[in-house]
Structure 1
Amino acid sequence: MRKAFPKNLRLLCSYHESISDVARRLGMNRQQIMKYLSGTAYPSARSMRRLCDFFGVEEHEIVMPDDQFRDIVRLKPALPVSADLTPPVLSALLKAAAGQTPQLRVYTGYYYEFRYSFTSPHLVLKSLLHIHESDGLVMYKSIERLRDHETDSAPAGVDVFKYAGVLMMIGNRIHMLDQEAVMGQELSHMVLFPPYRSRISALRGMKMGVTATAAHEPIAGRVVLEKIGRTVALRRAMRHCGLYAPASDGVPGSVLEYLGRPGNGEPVTFNAEADPPADPSTTAQR
């Protein structure tokens, strides 16, 4: 079954600019990839998983007879994160994100996300966020509980929200874009400063989204991601999530200081309001 692997890998590489480009995006040695292509070496289980995740194929597919594999590749519209149906700008972003997986791998793990609540701005929202690898990209999921941690009370309606998104590095800044996972009615965007030390304990920056009210007002505020670890006890971690009074023990002092620090004269959170409907009596007639 291994005999077809070099041909199949060469086909996958042909979707990219060069072998050097593939090696750079994978974070692998070009000479090693050339050995795979020539058939003088075969990837380890870990390297094979990296290759398959990057190109968007399964391990059993990449060792199929090359004529069968070529047919499979033609039927995969997302291969290799550059489908013809994808607008060029989105394809370029996804290619960039896929190529950054090796350097972004350092951010994988669980975090508590802290920010002033967009819906209850006098309270700090503490959520659970998980950054992980999936399908050759660095993705993340987060869960918000809009429930007062002290009184266990929640606003009317749904009090748990789930989000799923992708992480990428652009202009030496970490960008995290997600969508609300149940109804798909919300997008949010975080821009974070990368840490300037090898050990990651916290990421800081800004987050923009909309309120959970019917008005869905655009709003932005500072955000802190505090790393918990590579693995966590999920039930225990979720028990610490919710809405906190700023002075409570659930919000570290360093986090509170950053969240409350005004910038450029703006308040802690900044809302955008829609223009009121035009008064028909004052509308110019044509």
Structure 2
Amino acid sequence: MNVDDDPRRRAGGRPAGRLGAHAERHVRAPAAARRGSINSGATMSRSRLTAADQRANYRDNLLFCCDHYRSISDLCRRVGINRQQFNRYLSGESLPSRHNHKKISDFFGLEFDELLLPHRQFIATFGRRKVESFMPPDLESFSYFMKSMAGPRARLLEDYQGFYFRHFFNFHGDGRIKRELVHWRLDDGVLVSTTKQRYMSGPGAAQRLQFVTYRGVVGSVGDRLFSIGADRIGGRDLGMSMLYPTVQKLQRLEGIMMGIGPNSARQIVSGRVVLDFLGRRIDRRDAMRRLGTFALDDPAVADDIKVSIQNDISPTEGLLIARI
């Protein structure tokens, strides 16, 4: 059994390589540091916390970070830490070795001892970093655009909350129609968007069903709606839609979407899109089963939707223009 698999491994009768060792025996700080404790570089005020408090802070902060990812298993593969070990950190049962702690901190882009902060302080620090990262001074002149996605302007869009089937021609370029499940909801003054894709991965008989989640925001510019989203895992797949608002009862939203093609060339692609409103409350399992790609003659997709998402350009248009 290696060090990481046993959070209470003892060398010479003393706990080794863990934050808890330092918390329980302050007089042994130099020895703990030599053995690679993740707390060896922490401040004195933090070191006075009990081992239980430190584990709880680490657990809560790590759970907060992990909430932004699709699955713990996938996250463990990306970080390079065994799932069983990682679960012990998430449960507060133990703290990682200095080596694993550095891998986790580096993956989330955190300073070495940030995961040891009290949870409220960690969230405040995390929030400040997001503001500093995404709103540098050079972007202040575009603040009106950001404000359109929050506060009173966002509440004007509350009638658009609910579930939609999003239809468009697959960006693979295979002529098939893709259907995704979109959910728009107000969350803390922002209309947020969650999109679920369903697809089969793997070769031949080894194929298995998988889902991909995209997270984003919805706003308005003038009398047009827009949504921007990225995949939840790596953030490498980005998409944006511009949509005509509804003028009567909410049934469908039509517009143009743009994104990155799902191939190695990562081509920038666009096409017409229709969001078909399903309601505020739906049977999500049933809706998820109905996702996928469909042939152009498949009756599962309504004929008028097929017409609306055709990417033809008439001689009088000269451009790809959204249907109304």
Structure 1 and Structure 2 fold alike (TM over 0.5): yes
Q: Over alpha carbons, which structure has the higher Rg?
A: 2
Q: Normalising by structure 2, what TM-score?
A: 0.52
Structure 1 residue 158, shift from structure 2 partner: 8.8
**Per-residue CA distance 1:216-238 (angstroms, 9 max, x = gap):** 11111000000001011111100
Q: Note if contact 1:221-1:268 (Cα within 8 Å) is conserved in structure 2.
A: no
Tell me the residue number matched to 1:203.
Answer: 253
* Aligned positions of 1:72-91 closer than 5 A: 77=128, 85=136, 87-91=139-143
Q: Distance in 1 between matches of 2:263 and 2:130?
A: 39
Structure 1 residue 146, shift from structure 2 partner: 3.2
Tell me the residue number matched to 1:262.
Answer: 312
2:268 pairs with 1:227: no
Q: Distance in 2 between matches of 1:268 and 1:236?
A: 37
Structure 1 residues 76, 181: closer, same or farther in 2, change over 3 A? closer
Q: Distance in 1 between matches of 2:209 and 2:231?
A: 13
| Candidates 244, 252, 266, aligned match of 2:294 | 244
Q: Note if contact 1:142-1:162 (Cα within 8 Å) is conserved in structure 2.
A: yes
Relative contact order, CA 8 A, sep 6+: which one is greater? 1
Q: Secondary structure at the match of 2:273?
A: strand
Q: Note if contact 2:213-2:232 (Cα within 8 Å) is conserved in structure 1.
A: yes
Q: Note if contact 2:313-2:320 (Cα within 8 Å) is conserved in structure 1.
A: no
2:191 pairs with 1:138: yes
Q: Distance in 1 between matches of 2:280 and 2:306?
A: 24
Paired AA for residue 192 in structure 1 = L
Structure 1 residue 261, shift from structure 2 partner: 5.5
Q: Note if contact 1:188-1:209 (Cα within 8 Å) is conserved in structure 2.
A: yes
Gapped regions of structure 1 (runs ≥ 5):
1-71, 271-286
Structure 1 residues 73, 185: closer, same or farther in 2, change over 3 A? closer
Structure 1 residue 121, shift from structure 2 partner: 3.3
Q: Distance in 2 between matches of 1:75 and 1:185?
A: 21
* Aligned positions of 1:113-132 closer than 5 A: 113-132=166-185
Q: Distance in 1 between matches of 2:154 and 2:251?
A: 20
Q: Distance in 2 between matches of 1:75 and 1:214?
A: 33
Structure 1 residue 187, shift from structure 2 partner: 1.0
2:189 pairs with 1:105: no
Tell me the residue number matched to 1:94.
Answer: 146
**Per-residue CA distance 1:129-179 (angstroms, 9 max, x = gap):** 00011121101010112349xxxx899899532211111110211111111
Identical pairs, percent? 23
2:176 pairs with 1:176: no
> How many residues end up aligned between the 2 structures?
194
Q: Secondary structure at the match of 1:97?
A: coil
Q: Normalising by structure 1, what TM-score?
A: 0.59
Structure 1 residues 237, 75: closer, same or farther in 2, change over 3 A? closer
Q: Distance in 2 between matches of 1:216 and 1:111?
A: 27
Structure 1 residue 89, shift from structure 2 partner: 4.2
RMSD: 3.7
Structure 1 residues 144, 84: closer, same or farther in 2, change over 3 A? closer
Q: Secondary structure at the match of 1:146?
A: strand
**Per-residue CA distance 1:54-97 (angstroms, 9 max, x = gap):** xxxxxxxxxxxxxxxxxx9999649999x975631453322122
Q: Distance in 2 between matches of 1:110 and 1:214?
A: 31
* Aligned positions of 1:183-198 closer than 5 A: 183-197=234-248
Q: Note if contact 1:73-1:79 (Cα within 8 Å) is conserved in structure 2.
A: no
